[in-house]
A and B are shown apart, each in its own frame.
Chain A
Amino acid sequence: MDQTTQTWVFDDLDDDELDDFDYEFEHDQIVEVVPPSLTHLASVGLAERTRLIDAYVRGELARVLRVAPESIDTVGRPMNSLGIGSITGLELQRRMEAALRVDVNLNRLLRANSAAELVDCLAGQLGPEDSPHKHAGRDEHHLVAHVPSPR
């Protein structure tokens, strides 16, 4: 990269214009997230499991978006309207996969119609071992896939 080019293009912005860029970064919040226990998730009914996972997903979304968890609309907006882009989507995928021991399809995550769609898929995968909703294996067809426990 030619440093002269880089400096030249941006040096021509005046202070107000640079302040406008800074606005984008002035409201960042730091959010701590505690994942739910997988054992507990598998032991409760679907409604309670969905509630716990909704709280967890809301927290992870808030963490990667650097906003307050209560500001996340999980029902009516697709991921990109929440502000999820490729890097934040990848971060979300990797954090959820590590915490919940599931496979999450990044492309489908980015195209999800709402966070609730993700929550419902997770709630289906994190039920009891004999749940008929579970399917294993990372593929293009499922947003979330179950990672079977090692025998």
Chain B
Amino acid sequence: MPVLESGTAPRTAGPGRPAAGQLDVWLVRRAALESAAELLDLSELSEPERRRTASFVRPADGVTYASAHVALRRLLGAYLGLPPQDVPFVREPCPGCAEPHGRPAVAHPDPPLHFSLAHSHGMAVVAVSRTVVGADVERLPRAETVEVCTPALHPGEQAELAALGDAGERRAAFGRLWTRKEAYLKALGTGLSRDPGRDYLGADPDRRPAGWTLLDLPSGPRHNAAVAVRGGAPDQVTVRWVPPTALYAGETVDLDADGTVGVPVGVTTRVSDWGA
């Protein structure tokens, strides 16, 4: 049970979303570097979030971080019926040591939703669901990175990678299984304090951890992304882009957006269509 943060708590569950059985996935591109400082609205971020934004060595990483957190606050604010700056975040107790560095959550004695945020190299993913959820996105790893890191994986995952003849296929397969693995470990709340070699998150859905559903997300040629949700497959999964302009000052995220000019709508699909 998350600990209530002092001060603010959600007034209500807002418009009652997401619906039971619904998994909403929002893809976010970072704001353009040349206009981010002018257009991106950091006023809704907390002081620690603003400090983190300024702390990155690569300016592009800072813009990705800020874009992801503005999107997260505006999205959760829309779901919860709260101003973005009032969304009360808390860290759940770590399942390993009970210290408050477990899953990030909305501070509420009975959270009306669960969420997970991930960002990497210009792209972010926000997953929102009634059930526990974990998300990850990663830049496609180099062949050398795959070679160095593969021995740390589950033996079944290592065997799958070894069976692929082509280094390009191994990079893609490693990226897919790693994002499933991290999404799963984030949903568990352990993160990488749990040995990455312990669980199988390879290509065979039947061998993956029981009680969880793993979905590979559309992520383009440069990234891999995945979501883990507790329980069986959601009835419906919706994947949408957050319009870049929705991160600007004075704008909001419209949960019902079905297409602004020039902005991709995304896709609504049944999980049975995904084959993930």
Contact = CB atoms under 8 A, between A and B. Distances in A.
Chief secondary structure at chain B's binding surface: mixed
Interface residues of A, number: 40
B33 interface: yes
Interface in A63-93: 64, 67, 71-73, 77-78, 81-83, 85-91
A106 interface: yes
A1 B138 contact: no
Contacts of A107: 191-193
Given A9-B264, A21-B123, A25-B222, A2 B55 contact: no
Interface size range on B against A: 35 or more
Contact of B264 (A13, A64, A81): A13
B183 to A, nearest CB: 11
Interface string B181-199: 0100000000111001000
A89 B196 CA distance: 12
A94 B269 contact: no
B122 interface: yes
Nearest to A1: B216
Interface stretch (B85-93, B143-151, B228-236, B248-256): B143-151
Contacts of A12: 241, 264-265
B106 to A, nearest CB: 22
Contacts of B141: 87
Interface of A: 1-2, 5-6, 8-10, 12-14, 17, 20-25, 64, 67, 71-73, 77-78, 81-83, 85-91, 94-95, 106-107, 110, 140
23 contacts: A1-B276, A5-B273, A5-B274, A6-B220, A9-B218, A9-B266, A13-B220, A20-B32, A23-B33, A25-B139, A25-B222, A81-B57, A83-B58, A86-B182, A86-B192, A87-B141, A87-B178, A89-B192, A91-B145, A94-B152, A95-B148, A106-B196, A107-B191
